[in-house]
Amino acid sequence: MMDDKGLPPEPVMLPYLVAGIVIVGLPTIYAAVRFREYRKFLAGAFFVSSGMQFYFYLAKIPIPLMWTNAIQSPELSGVRGTIHFALFLICLYFGWFFRRDRRTD
């Protein structure tokens, strides 16, 4: 996509993603480490998110960020889809299959 001057838009999506990771991601990691049921929920959420992001990548659909002029490129959607699929596999394993031995001596 080109702006009104015929130049490609600047990549301004990265600061928003970093801010989102810090503000939302850190409390989420804390809850995921402490609670198994939360990891089960995250497995489903990451599965759906990875599918959506991968679809946006394949269909070459740019995603605008509401109330800003930032646009997430289809290539970034592909990267995010890959990361979310990896997080899905991690949450699936630790939420559903991994059992921590709780020994009481």
In the three-class reduction of DSSP (H, G, I as helix; E, B as strand; rest coil), residue 64 is classed as strand
- Backbone φ, ψ for residue 71 (5° rounding): -130, 130
Ordered mean pLDDT values, 10 residues apiece, the chain (105 residues): 57 79 87 88 95 96 86 92 96 88 61
Domain limits of the chain?
36-97
Model pLDDT, residue 49: 96
For the entire predicted model, the pTM comes to 0.71
Residue whose structure tokens are 């991994």: 98
Q: How far is CA 1 from CA 14, 58, 64, 90, in A?
A: 18, 17, 12, 36
Model pLDDT, residue 99: 80
Pairing of the two strands 63-64 and 71-72: antiparallel
Cα distance between residue 14 and residue 61, in whole Å? 18
Model pLDDT, residue 5: 61
